[in-house]
Chains A and B, each alone.
Chain A
Amino acid sequence: MEIRIRLFAIARERAKSASITIELASGARVADLRLELARTVPELAPLIPGSFVAVDEEYADDSVLIQEDSEIALIPPVSGGLGQAKGEGPDLKEEKREEG
């Protein structure tokens, strides 16, 4: 299946495009998407481990299944963010503090 990935900020700049389309096998998960994106666009490879992936506008961990009609985005850390992506997105319900 063809999957379009929206890109923002440094990723958009590196890829020189607001989105990239990659080919994934059906049944692929976010972890597979990370690998394939790094392989297809080597300029993005250094950014991918530290970025979040959003599936249908929700932070998604590596085990989330990707559907053909999923809306996918690569989300580099935001400026007041936690500074690391451990495969799942920041949680609204936990209080985490960081200097602003």
Chain B
Amino acid sequence: MIEITEGPIDHHGLIDQVRSNQAGAVCSFLGTVREMTEGRRTDSLEYQTYHEMALKKMTELETEARRRWPLLDVVLVHRIGRLELGEICVVVAVSSPHRDQAFESCRWLIDTLKQVVPIWKKENWADGNAQWIHPGINAGQ
């Protein structure tokens, strides 16, 4: 299941969703809003997406993961909009016959999602500044 949502993510429900009698393993990853980044305090985050392309790239990720590992089910859900400290911004959940496949595919899915899916993060710093995070380009404040 692939989804981009503006509301809170029910990660318990999503993890249950990938469980299966054929599975010996379920692995999940939750990305959450961190308060401190290199000594700087975050007040909230804001995520923006190129919705159509993001869904397309997430679907390609699922297809590629299923090609690499014998996955029984895959869930990729990303939240957009404003998120407060500690809230969940992204969930990856997979099920597979054996645990190695679940660990490896879950790790690959979150790493690759963060590289190829057009979803951007804006830091609303506690000092009042705001900053889009774009590694490699000097976007300034």
Task: Point out residues on A near B: beta carbons under 8 Å.
Answer: 6, 8-10, 12-13, 46-47, 49-51, 54, 57, 59, 73, 75-85, 89-90, 92-93, 95-98, 100
Contacts and interface: CB of A to CB of B under 8 A. Distances in A.
Classify the interface of chain A: helix, strand, loop or mixed: loop
Interface string B87-131: 000000000000000000000101111111111111000000000
A92 B133 CA distance: 21
B64 A93 contact: yes
Contacts of A50: 134, 136-137
Contacts of B57: 92
Contacts of A13: 132
20 contacts: A8-B49, A10-B139, A12-B48, A50-B134, A54-B118, A75-B50, A76-B137, A78-B117, A78-B120, A78-B121, A79-B133, A79-B135, A81-B114, A82-B115, A83-B135, A85-B136, A90-B116, A92-B61, A92-B112, A95-B111
A8 B115 contact: no
A100 B138 contact: no
A12 B108 CA distance: 30
Contacts of B118: 8, 54, 73, 75, 78
Contacts of A98: 111, 114-115
Contacts of B108: 95
B120 A8 contact: yes
**Of B48, B56, B136, which is in contact with the most chain A CB atoms at under 10 Å from its CB?**
B136
